[in-house]
Amino acid sequence: MTTAGDAHASAPTAAVPMISMAGVQKYFGDLHVLRDITLDVPTGQVVIVVGPSGSGKSTLCRTINRLEPVDAGTIAVDGRELPAEGKALAALRADVGMVFQSFNLFAHKTILENVMLAPVKVRKLSRADAKARAVELLDRVGIGNQADKYPAQLSGGQQQRVAIARALAMNPKVMLFDEPTSALDPEMVSEVLDVMTALAREGMTMLVVTHEMGFARKAGNRVLFMADGQIVEDTDPDTFFTAPKSARAQDFLGKIL
Ligand code: ADP
Ligand code: MG
């Protein structure tokens, strides 16, 4: 969390938030899924999003890069409001990397090709440059020696690390993670969280939907607790996990801890 001291030490100009949502409303038919979400995430902040199933966590992530359009309100990334569609949307969407619970790798492409694909197609990198970058990123997530394999030949934890490398290959300004370890066998959770922790330490702005409390406390700067489409608590991880204020958060923590 930004403190007065941090603000004093950094640039004198007022910093534009990396993610800025104001008055965002989202409905699925009659279901009001995001209720007046207003949220600023400063550059470099790691925000943990928790809350019961159906509270709107995934929808929140998906609206930030317009995988879901919103019904009202504004969303800006790095000071630029997302256009509804078209080429400008594709370019801005590429600034927001997303990693899902299911790894969503292309099954018929090698690990290397999975990581090279979008930079060549969307960022118009040469194949040589895209390959060099992919090799570097696969090394960084500890998969360098598996580059020529196909996704099905890798474990779930390895596939998720490839998915992270693939998102990073676009040089995103923000990374969104939606329950990235929920589909993994328990012994593979830490290898993915370690990569995410390293990314957080390098200063990436991150929004992470997860119930991994150890990660939240180690890597997170801020916790948002969602219920019924609203941000009910917005505090630091230690406070949230040790002294949640609302009855709903207390009830929720009682069930997951
Ligand atoms: P969470 O990720 O917190 O579990 P979601 O954002 O996935 O919650 O869902 C919030 C609510 O919106 C839930 O009631 C869910 O059933 C509903 N919902 C999500 N996606 C859709 C959709 N594409 N169509 C209709 N309802 C949806
Ligand atoms: Mg979800």
Residue 210 has pLDDT above 90, yes or no: yes
Residue nearest to atom 27 of ligand 1 (CA): 28
pLDDT, average across residues 225-237: 97
Question: Among residues of the chain, what percentage have pLDDT more than 90?
Answer: 84
Residue nearest to atom 18 of ligand 1 (CA): 28
pLDDT for residue 7: 45
ipTM of the complex: 0.98
Q: Which atom of ligand 1 is nearest to the CA of 226?
A: 3
Condensed to tens digits (0 to 9), the pLDDT of residues 34-54 reads 999 999 999 999 999 999 999
Give which of 155, 68, 160 is closest to 114, Cα–Cα: 160
Q: Which atom of ligand 1 is nearest to the CA of 179?
A: 2
Ligand closest to Cα of 179 equals 2
Residue 33 has pLDDT above 80, yes or no: yes
Distance 59 CA to ligand 1 centre (A): 6
Condensed to tens digits (0 to 9), the pLDDT of residues 105-154 reads 999 999 999 999 999 998 899 999 999 999 999 999 999 999 999 999 99
Condensed to tens digits (0 to 9), the pLDDT of residues 11-32 reads 556 689 999 999 999 999 999 9
CB 106 near ligand 1, within 6 Å: no
Residue tagged 């929920």 (tokens): 182
Query: 99: which 2 tokens?
Result: 């990693």
Q: Which atom of ligand 1 is nearest to the CA of 51?
A: 3
Residue nearest to atom 22 of ligand 1 (CA): 28
CB 59 near ligand 1, within 6 Å: yes
The total of other beta-carbon atoms located within 10 Å of residue 22's CB is 15
How many Cα neighbours within 13 Å face the side chain of 229? 13
pLDDT, average across residues 233-255: 95
Q: Cα(50)–Cα(62) distance, rounded to whole angstroms?
A: 15
How many Cα neighbours within 13 Å face the side chain of 193? 23
CB 33 near ligand 1, within 6 Å: yes
